[in-house]
Amino acid sequence: MSLLDYIAPQSVESNELRLIHPRIIDSQTGKPHITKINVLSAEKINGGEETKYKLIALLGTRTIYLVEKFLKWNNADQFIEKRNVFKELGIPVVETVRKIDRRRIVMTDEDQKGVIMYGKKRLRAYQNDPLSKDPINDPKFVNIIHNHWPEIKAKVTDWTNKLTQEGHHLAPDDIFENFIYSDGSWKFMPLDLSQARLHKRERRAAKINNKALKEFEYVMYNLYKEIKGFTPPPSRRILFFRDPIPDQWWEL
């Protein structure tokens, strides 16, 4: 993709982006600190309801890899606040988020760490095309679930309880996904915070978080089932909560 087709930089001639650090105040100006980067390339990411680009940029002489997002449901300050609140509650979040302007942010590009994500999108892909399965990384996911599911569910339940107690809730559709890295490490992290909400009534937060927790287990169970080659459900679509989940399914 040509940078001329890219909708981003404040200065098209230099492809320069100014990243705002809202929590770091410049001692001389009294305003948030600004870091300038030069965008070398931009590639649009297909899918999702928010426009996103993968960026390769220079920070001084260092090459960095970022994802730029054009926000639909939040302004940049709201998104960054959610990220910081989740982090303070001990919930894994993207490493770095910076503001460009009111509706645009950049984030760390997890793909550059050699990450493979297991969640709803991968489940749909496997259900639609069983031949698309990943023979290298699928066994890693199966081993993680088989050996650690009770601890994983307990930890995710603890995170959702903390959110509920504060009146916050997860996005209804973008739940926790399994991030597996090329170095063998892994974690579970919310895929996207755009539709998460802060400072709602605890009762409403509890309803949404409890549903998200059930959906999370349903997706993990069905991914595990697809990869292990169990008999598929009557419908290839994700039918949340309709098919009963067997007891101790991770040991099957």
CATH number of the domain encompassing residue 54: 3.30.200
Q: Please check whether residues 121 and 220 belong to one and the same domain.
A: yes
Q: Please check whether residues 49 and 93 belong to one and the same domain.
A: yes
Q: Please check whether residues 101 and 214 belong to one and the same domain.
A: no
Which of 86-95, 163-172, 232-241 comes out lowest in average pLDDT? Answer: 232-241
Domain boundary among 112, 132, 150: 112
Does 146 have pLDDT greater than 50? Answer: yes
Tokens at residue 200, please?
A: 């709602």
Q: How confident is the model at residue 30 (pLDDT cuts 50, 70, 90)?
A: low
Q: How far apart are CA 50 and CA 238, in angstroms?
A: 22
**Predicted pLDDT of residue 88:** 95
Q: How confident is the model at residue 18 (pLDDT cuts 50, 70, 90)?
A: confident
Q: How far apart are CA 129 and CA 238, in angstroms?
A: 14
Q: Please check whether residues 86 and 149 belong to one and the same domain.
A: no
Q: How confident is the model at residue 117 (pLDDT cuts 50, 70, 90)?
A: very high
Q: Please check whether residues 148 and 229 belong to one and the same domain.
A: yes
Q: How far apart are CA 107 and CA 95, in angstroms?
A: 8
Q: Please check whether residues 126 and 196 belong to one and the same domain.
A: yes
Domain boundary among 112, 140, 161: 112
Section 195-220 average pLDDT: 92
pLDDT, tens digit, 9 for 90 and up, residues 210-226: 999 999 999 999 999 99
CA 45 to mean position of chain CA atoms: 14
* Candidate ranges 128-132, 151-155, 203-207, 230-234; pick with highest mean pLDDT: 151-155
Cα angle 82, 83, 86 (rounded to 5 degrees) comes to 85
Q: Please check whether residues 108 and 156 belong to one and the same domain.
A: no
Q: Please check whether residues 121 and 236 belong to one and the same domain.
A: yes
Q: Please check whether residues 177 and 57 belong to one and the same domain.
A: no
Neighbours of 128 (CB within 10 A): 10
pLDDT, tens digit, 9 for 90 and up, residues 87-98: 999 999 998 899
Q: How confident is the model at residue 232 (pLDDT cuts 50, 70, 90)?
A: low
Which of 29-33, 71-75, 84-88, 203-207 comes out lowest in average pLDDT? Answer: 29-33
Rounded to the nearest 10°, the torsion over CA 96, 101, 103, 108 is -20
Q: How confident is the model at residue 248 (pLDDT cuts 50, 70, 90)?
A: very high
Count of structural domains, the chain: 2
The pLDDT mean for the chain works out to 85
pLDDT, tens digit, 9 for 90 and up, residues 43-66: 999 877 899 999 999 988 999 999
Q: How far apart are CA 25 and CA 246, in angstroms?
A: 53
**Predicted pLDDT of residue 8:** 47
Q: Please check whether residues 13 and 26 belong to one and the same domain.
A: yes
Q: Please check whether residues 82 and 149 belong to one and the same domain.
A: no
Q: Please check whether residues 138 and 240 belong to one and the same domain.
A: yes
Can you give the residue range of the structural domain that contains 223?
116-251
